[in-house]
Structure formats: C-alpha cells, structure tokens
C-alpha cells in the first residue's frame, strides 16, 4: 500500500468510527469521480461552473490588470486545478497578452493533473507550467516562501465551501502566512440565493450527483478491501439557508455490517454518512472573512445573475 492509500485508509477508518459517520469529499476524485464531476459541471442545474466561466470571459482583461499591477511577472498557483476548463480562459489571454508568468496547478487527483498537463502542453505550448499532486493543506506547507516574484493564489469553483468554517479560516490564514504583503488571493465563492436553486444543483434530476457520491463507496471497495453493498445506500442532499450549508449524505437503507480492511462497521437502518459540505456566502461574510484572515478585498467580480463571485484579495 502506498503512502496515499495509507492516508486514505486511515481517514476512512477514522471517519466510519466517528459519530456521526463521515467520509471526506476530497476522496471523490479518482478517475471515475473525475469523469462524473465533468458531467456534473455540464448539468443545467449546476450553475456554479457556468457563472464563474462567464466571469472569466467578461473580466479577463481586468483580472490581468490586477494581477500585473506593480509587477512585470508573477507566479500563478492554483489549488484544485481539475481540468482547467475555466482557468484556460485566463491562461490563453495571458499568453496572448505576452505576460510573463509561471503556472503551478495543484490537485489531489493524479489523473486530473496528468490530463491537464497533457492538454496544456498541447494547446498552450508557450505556457511555463509545473504541476503537483497532493492535498491542499499538505502542498501549502511545502510551497517555498519566495518574495522575488508576485504570488497569485487561485482557489476557484467554490472549493473553499467544502471546508468547515474553522478549516476555511485555518486554510486562508495559512495562505496568508505563505505569501507577502500585496500578493493576491483569487477566491471563487458561491453566493447565497434562492434555496431551491441551490438544492437542485446538488440533487440533479439525472442522478449524476448521486452517482458521484456513491462512487466514493465503490472506490473504497476497490482500493481498501471493503464490501459496501452500493445498492443499499441512497444519496440525500439538504440545504440550510440559515447557516448557508448544503450537505450531502449517503444513507443506509437497511441495518447492515460493512467491512473495510478487516475492520467491521455497523449501520442502523437510515443511518447517514456525511460526505460533503457546500457552503454559500453573503458579500458581508466575505468581507469579514478577508479581514479576519489578513487580507483586504481588491475587487469582487460577479456574474450577471449574481449567483457567484470571484473575490480578489490583497495580503496586508
């Protein structure tokens, strides 16, 4: 078992031993999970990707102006790069504008990193790219603190919304401690809106989000010598407009016992496994969060429907 699988196993055993049971959403992204998430982004109900893509297309020149303010070159570091669908809008514009920059995409999925590198090397050959696979928090610790070049950190797609509030603050403060005054954080955040609109994005009519969640159990079966009966679990999503959390769970439809790496776990009928938080923010919350974590807001870029914001923060 390699180091990654040892960590995967430890997290699964810990999560299934907890009360309530939980599994980390970061393990959604194996090869099959990557494919399913691509399908989710294409769904009519899943507005997030379309809204952020619109922001990039509309404001790419403005974004470049902000990135290059006070400097001739910068390092562009992206956490959770995925397939780079939206980021390529910026990368292509930066290259066409003859901007001097280096791009470092980071993703927990080695499959995603490999595909992205192949794609970018073929389609944007002038791009200076150095990719890395790993967990966001772990890679952040390994990043060298270099002040001879402006740092711009990208964290798109409302990925920050998958963290608990303490984790959100811890991660953003850790980023601030790794960069220098006037460096930038470009943060994608999903805005609070009609609760029905939000819930449909995580409970689509085609059942792709259901399959995406259930694939996590299939991955545990494949990689960790487990025996989840996938047909006895159902996906359930719920949104709480008070705290802005949309949660995903997998619910056991019967009383059963599951074995993972020779360890047994008992499930009551209708017992849930918490799999994901998708947190939504107000603009006031974002402003307070930036100040608390050592930043000021340079610019908020919002799509025409006011569903999503890309908030550009400056380190102070």
CA-closest candidate to residue 262, choices 212, 305, 227: 227
4-8: average pLDDT: 85
188 with 51, same domain: the answer is: yes
- Whether 92 has a pLDDT exceeding 90, the answer reads yes
Query: Are 35 and 128 members of one domain?
Result: no
Q: Report residue 241: phi and psi, to 5°.
A: -70, -15
Indicate the pLDDT class of residue 137, thresholds 50, 70 and 90.
confident
Both 260 and 151 in one domain: the answer is: no
Looking at the structure, do residues 70 and 86 belong to the same domain, yes or no? yes
Q: Residue 82 has what pLDDT?
A: 86
Overall average pLDDT of the 88-103 stretch: 96
Number of domains in the chain: 2
Same domain, residue pair 136 and 251: no
97-123: average pLDDT: 92
Q: Are residues 117 and 56 in the same domain?
A: yes
Residue 270 phi/psi, 5-degree rounding, is: 75, 15
The answer on 264 and 124 residing in a single domain is no
Residues 117 and 217 both lie in one domain:
no
Q: Within this chain, do residues 136 and 111 fall inside the same structural domain, yes or no?
A: yes
pTM of the model: 0.90
Domain, as residue range, for 223 = 3-45+196-279
Whether residues 33 and 179 share a domain: the answer is no
Per-residue pLDDT at 142: 80
| Three-class HEC string of the chain | CCHHHHHHHHHHHHHHHCCCEECCHHHHCCHHHHHHHHHHHHCCCCHHHHHHHHHHHHHHHHHHHHHCCCCCEEEEEEECCCCCCCHHHHHHHHHHCCCEEEEEEEECCHHHHHHHHHHHHHHCCCCCECCEECCHHHHHHHCCCCCCCEEEEEECCCHHHHCCHHHHHHHHHHHHHHCCCCCEEEEEEEECCCHHHHHHHCCCCCCHHHHHHHHHHHHHHHHHCECCCHHHEEEEEEEECCCCEEEEEEEECCCEEEEECCEEEEECCCCEEEEEEEECECHHHHHHHHHHCCEEEEEEEECCCCCEEEEEEEEC
Count Cα atoms within 13 angstroms, Cβ side, for 11. Answer: 16
Q: Which of the four pLDDT bands, split at 50, 70 and 90, describes residue 147?
A: low
- Here the CATH number for the domain that contains residue 140 is 3.40.50.150
Tell me what pLDDT residue 257 has. Answer: 98
pLDDT digits (tens, 9 = 90+) for 247-277: 999 999 999 999 999 999 999 999 999 999 9
What is the percent of the chain with per-residue pLDDT over 90, rounded to a whole number? 85
**Per-residue confidence (pLDDT) for residue 1, from 0 to 100:** 44
The verdict on 53 and 14 lying in the same domain is no
Q: Are residues 139 and 60 in the same domain?
A: yes
Q: What's the pLDDT tens digit per position in 199-248?
A: 999 999 999 999 999 999 999 999 999 999 999 999 999 999 999 999 99
């Amino acid at each position: 078992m390699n180091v990654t699988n040892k960590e995967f196993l430890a997290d699964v055993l810990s999560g299934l031993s907890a009360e309530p049971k939980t599994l980390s959403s970061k393990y959604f992204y194996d090869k099959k999970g990557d494919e399913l998430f691509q399908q989710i982004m294409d769904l009519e109900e899943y507005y997030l990707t379309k809204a952020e893509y619109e922001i990039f297309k509309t404001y790419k020149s403005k974004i470049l102006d902000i990135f290059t303010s006070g400097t001739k070159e910068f390092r562009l570091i992206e956490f959770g790069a995925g397939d780079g669908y939206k980021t390529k809008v910026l990368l292509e514009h930066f290259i066409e504008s003859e901007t001097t920059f280096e791009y470092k995409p980071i993703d927990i999925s080695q499959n995603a990193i490999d595909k992205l590198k192949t794609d970018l090397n073929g389609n944007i050959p002038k791009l200076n790219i150095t990719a890395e696979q790993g967990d966001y928090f772990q890679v952040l610790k390994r990043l060298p603190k270099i002040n001879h070049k402006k740092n711009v950190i990208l964290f798109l797609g409302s990925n920050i919304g998958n963290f608990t509030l303490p984790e959100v603050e811890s991660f953003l403060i850790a980023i601030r401690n790794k960069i220098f005054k006037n460096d930038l954080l470009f943060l994608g955040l999903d805005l609070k809106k009609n609760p029905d609109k939000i819930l449909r994005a995580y409970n689509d009519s085609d059942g792709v989000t259901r399959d995406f969640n259930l694939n996590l159990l299939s991955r545990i079966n494949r990689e960790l010598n487990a025996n989840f009966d996938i047909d006895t679990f159902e996906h359930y999503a719920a949104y709480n407009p008070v705290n802005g959390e949309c949660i995903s769970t997998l619910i056991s439809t019967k009383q059963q016992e599951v074995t993972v790496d020779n360890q047994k776990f008992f499930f009551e009928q209708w017992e849930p496994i918490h799999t994901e938080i998708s947190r939504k923010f107000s603009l006031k919350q974002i402003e307070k969060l930036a100040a608390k974590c050592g930043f000021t807001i340079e610019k908020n870029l919002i799509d025409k429907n006011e569903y999503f914001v890309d908030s550009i923060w400056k380190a102070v």
